Structure 1
């Protein structure tokens, strides 16, 4: 299909590198940008910023709760703090500080979380955060963003700097296909239709966007199924219009995310459909209420049924259900 040509062979790049490169650009552009890190400067590609703008870089150490409090305080002076660490430590370990010091007071703090989901890989269950989207989206006033590749992470980092209010920006560890437009305009709260189709709507986020594209291509080539693929990079606020317009056309939907199916993107989509349309067949590709384990990223996606093959199988199932 002609639509797939622009998503052909792609270079592999790390989403966290897109974040680090954007931070350096922002440091040059905006003197109000301040960066805080919890002893993970290299892992979050913050080294360049720390060298060039040492007076605006604060190494807090392994004291994430303190980092959130400091970030909230810095924001009072008109600065724009970017607080970075691994997703598990950026949410679970500091939820009280985020709720009380940042969200309740609506502080302009950007919480930037790397190494999210199963694709963190070998570090195992203690570090693989699969609950963070649910935790963050429940906080009043919190914007939740989950990017899919280097280019989108770079663009999102620039965009959240201009956004006033708390943001949770989620990205990953491994090198993944870098397939979105280098010069894209990132709009918070606006989904992106990547492929136009009529048989099923596939709504995905983060690393599962590329898996959805690959799955939809095979579904078309092998079974003649035309998927409409939507990249939901902003989980809160959710782009209701792009979802509803697509689902009204296809009459069935599949959501795909590297997250527990409790509290994730799928539940947000189900709520919108239930309240605005009614009963529509939906399938959830997500981690089935369990912790992860140590392993290679792609092997873990396969084992926990959150890869392209799981999307293919679930898509075929939900279309059959629609046709009954």
Structure 2
């Protein structure tokens, strides 16, 4: 007969694809698709483009609302980026969707040469960032920020939740130039409403203050940081959370202010490899400005990650709430 513990393990590891939302957590359906429709109502230059992944990047909502402004390019990501660059040269603003691994690894040269070199007004919104799928290295974009940070002219955005995405869509549209935004799709958690949050391109936001630890985070790791801060507060540990939704350009002033506060452990947390992401950018900034706090990093390892269910993988690679709490306690 199966024990309760065995049933719990089976439930946590049986599904290849799982939502990043916890059971009972507030979610919002397809925030990107709905925000893009709202934007298109105001701007006739907005078009939607994808490489056979409209349904899986929430662009199908835009396609239903504006079929005459939707372009299905087939399984051809290089063609997708080239065509988007051409449309931008004609005065349109393409919102381009695909999976992050395909938009970066497969189409890198076209983003670099066709879009970024001419500083074209193309918005790349790429789903399955970091460890948000269990389908293994072919679909896990654990190195996308590292690659895209190296491209001149390219702004990089890593939203935390549905509210962040909704607010980021019109903000990146108002920015004249190419943008790479990591995209959360489907039933997206909603966590930032309780923090009186407003997305501003290029700005970090202090969501909560604390005296012993400050977590500098982006993307879904900000959600985990907030959960960890609440859990650690029950143990008498005071944790601040600085959300950094724009990775490039970095809000240097806010990060330096957070890291300079005497006596606090600084933890940089990201849903990305330890190579080339937010933590590398923060470490370089602190070294350059000669700010030397006690600093730890929570990030994915420099490795090809396993396939499996997301809760299991998040535990295994140290980005679950429980793992973050355990690590912070061990560092204090």
Write the deviation string for residues 248-288 of structure 1: whole angstroms up to 9, x where unpaired.
11543101111101001111111111111332221111111
Return the structure number with greater helix share. Answer: 1
Q: Distance in 2 between matches of 1:33 and 1:132?
A: 25
Aligned residues of 2:31 and 2:185 also touching (Cα < 8 A): no
Task: Tell whether the 8 Å contact from 2:161 to 2:191 is kept in structure 1 after alignment.
Answer: yes
- Flag the 1:184–1:158 CA change in 2: closer, same or farther, 3 A: farther
For residues 66-81 of structure 1, what are the structure 2 equivalents within 5 Å? 66-81=79-94
Structure 1 stretch 174-183 or stretch 41-50: which is displaced more?
174-183
**Post-superposition CA distance 1:143-178 (Å, at most 9, x none):** 000111111111111111111001000023464530
Q: Which moved more, 1:248-257 or 1:32-41?
A: 248-257
Cα offsets for 1:89-144 (capped at 9, x unmatched): 010000000111111111111011011121212x2221011000111111111100
* Counterpart in the other structure of 1:171: 183
Counterpart secondary structure, 1:152: helix
Q: Residue in 2 aligned with 1:302?
A: 315
**210, 215, 219: which is aligned to 2:232?**
219
Distance (whole Å) between structure 1 residues aligned to residue 301 and residue 102 of structure 2:
22
Given that 1:120 and 1:174 are in contact with CA atoms closer than 8 Å, whether structure 2 keeps it comes out as no
Paired with 1:170 and 1:188, the residues of 2 have a C-alpha distance of 14
Take 1:52 and 1:248, find their aligned partners in 2: how far apart are those partners?
Answer: 48
In the comparison of the two structures, how many residue pairs are matched?
307
How far apart, CA to CA, are the structure 2 residues paired with 1:162 and 1:82? 13
Instruction: State the distance in 2 between where 1:155 and 1:170 align.
Output: 14
Measured after TM superposition, the shift of residue 57 of structure 1 is 0.7
Q: Give 1:128's aligned residue.
A: 140
Aligned counterpart, 1:281: 294
Superposed, 1:150-299 pairs within 5 Å as 150-173=162-185, 175-181=187-193, 184-222=197-235, 224-249=236-261, 250-299=263-312
Provide the C-alpha distance between the structure 2 equivalents of 1:144 and 1:216, rounded to a whole number of angstroms: 26
Gapped regions of structure 1 (runs ≥ 5): 1-8, 320-324
- Contact 1:38 1:63 (C-alpha < 8 Å) held by counterparts: yes
In the alignment, does 2:139 pair up with 1:111? no
2:110 is equivalent to residue 97 of structure 1: yes
Q: Which moved more, 1:189-198 or 1:176-185?
A: 176-185
SS at match of 1:148: coil
1:103–1:140 contact (8 Å) kept in structure 2: yes
SS of residue in 2 equivalent to 1:302: helix
Name the SS of the counterpart of 1:119 in structure 2.
coil
TM-score, normalised relative to structure 2: 0.88
Q: Partners in 2 of 1:64 and 1:175 — Cα distance?
A: 25
Task: Supply the distance in 2 between the matched residues of 1:142 and 1:95 (Cα, whole angstroms).
Answer: 12
1:10 positional shift? 4.4
| Cα contact 2:153–2:177 (8 A) shared by 1 | yes
Residues 119 and 300 of structure 1 are in contact (CA less than 8 Å); yes or no, is this contact kept in structure 2? no
TM-score by length of 1: 0.90
Contact 2:127 2:183 in 1 (8 A): yes
CA distance in 2 between counterparts of 1:56 and 1:94 reads 23
Q: State the alpha-carbon separation in 1 of the partners of residues 80 and 64 from structure 2.
A: 20
Query: Paired residue for 1:146?
Result: 158
